[in-house]
Every structure is written in C-alpha cells, then in structure tokens.
Amino acid sequence: VSAATPERTRRIRADARRNIDALIDAAREVFKVSGVDAPVREITTRAGVGLATFYRHFPERSDLVTAVFRHEVDACADTAATLAATYEPLEALVRWLRRFTEFVGAKRGLAAALHSGNPAFEPLPAYFQQRFEPALGSLLTAAAAAGEIRDDVDPLELLHAVSRLCSPANVDHTGDERMVALLIDGLRYGAKPKPRSAEH
C-alpha cells in the first residue's frame, strides 16, 4: 500500500537516529554552558537540525533532559565492560568509580532538574539503578573473586555513597577524590586473599 520499501524505511530510521544523536550531543554541550533551560535554537543550530525536527523528537523540555540523562548514564555504564576487558579487576573497578565520579560531578544542571519534582523525571532513578547496579556489581564480583576486595558490599549502597561524597550540591569539592579513594581502600580492607591454585 505504500512506497516504503524495507530499504527506504531503514534509511528514514537511520536519519531519525542521526538527528536524535546530534540533538542529544548538542544539548549536552549547551546544557554545560547555558544550563538545562537553554534556548532551543542554541541546540538546533549546534546540531544542524531544524526546529520542526527538534520538536518532533522532543515535544517537552523534560523529554530532552531525560534523553541527555539516559545518554550520560549509558555512556558511563557501558565503560564497565570495556574496563573489565582491559584491566586487572581492581584496576578496572577503581577506574570505573573514577569515571562514575565524573558522571556525578558533571550532572550539576541535570541534578537540579531531576529534583524539580517534575513527574516526567520520576523513572530516572530507576534507570540509574537498572544500568549502574549491574555495571558496578560485576566489577565488584570480579575484584572479590580475585581476592582484591571484600565480597560483602552492596553495589547500590556504594553508588549512593559515591554520589553523596561527590554531589554537585556540595559547596567544597577539595576532598572528593581522596574520600572516594578512602572508600575504595575500605573495600580492600579485609579482602580474603585468593587461594593460590596450581598455575601453569
């Protein structure tokens, strides 16, 4: 009934995806400078995308803020697997927590929006948990299995602890890194050394 061949549908979907990605990328940059209430034109100009396209994908400002937040969460959560494949378990864990610290610190403008009471943002803490809990959980499990950290720490509690230590709401950030490092040393305290098996 329509002229939409599978090939054409794929191309349209790819175009839409490209526009959405460009808008999210532009919004991330613009939010950093002008905050989450930055004018739409700043974002569309930067993305090279028209206003109509913008409003088709993001009818409300909360849609855009949500998309940016989820993008940042995904980018951070996805590094866990990369780090696990690249580094020893403890090193991967430490590097990921540092990456997560950056995520927390960078969401200054987003954090205010998320706590604005807008019901559109209600699903986001669940998304935070859904992505970060398994990401950190697998790093903790690997490091504990390697005998480098203790095995009794709940990943979600640790995520919240690091979020609180480095929250953008804090006035003074001079000790942030040292206090996260102290938490990590707490993980290392009381680790059960891995029984040395026959290695070859």
Asked if residue 192 binds a copy of itself (CB under 8 A), the reply is no
Asked if residue 178 binds a copy of itself (CB under 8 A), the reply is yes
Among 32, 160, 192, 194, binds a copy of itself (CB under 8 A): 160
Residues 16, 8: contact at Cβ < 8 Å? no
Asked if residue 187 binds a copy of itself (CB under 8 A), the reply is yes
Half-sphere exposure of residue 61, counting CA atoms within 13 Å on the CB side?
14
Stretch that binds a copy of itself, among 10-18, 32-40, 138-146, 167-175 (CB under 8 A): 167-175
Asked if residue 105 binds a copy of itself (CB under 8 A), the reply is no
* Coil/strand/helix, residue 107: coil
Of 60, 19, 11, nearest to 40 (Cα)?
Answer: 60
**Amino acid identity at 184:** I
> What is the C-alpha R_g of the chain?
21
Asked if residue 172 binds a copy of itself (CB under 8 A), the reply is yes
d(CA 199, CA 142): 19
Asked if residue 18 binds a copy of itself (CB under 8 A), the reply is no
Among 14, 51, 75, 182, binds a copy of itself (CB under 8 A): 182
User: How many other C-beta atoms are found inside a 10 Å radius of the C-beta of residue 32?
Assistant: 13
Among 11, 154, 192, 194, binds a copy of itself (CB under 8 A): 154
* Coil/strand/helix, residue 167: coil
Among 12, 15, 175, 192, binds a copy of itself (CB under 8 A): 175
Asked if residue 93 binds a copy of itself (CB under 8 A), the reply is no
CB of 158 to a copy of itself, least distance (A): 7
Among 161, 168, 192, 200, binds a copy of itself (CB under 8 A): 161
DSSP state of 120: G
Q: Which one, 80 or 158, has the nearer CB to a copy of itself?
A: 158
Exposure string (b/e) for 174-199, b if CB count within 10 Å is 16 or more?
A: eebeeebeeebeebeeebeeeeeeee
Name the site residues for a copy of itself (rule: CB under 8 A): 153-154, 156-158, 160-161, 164-165, 167, 169-170, 172, 174-175, 178-179, 181-190
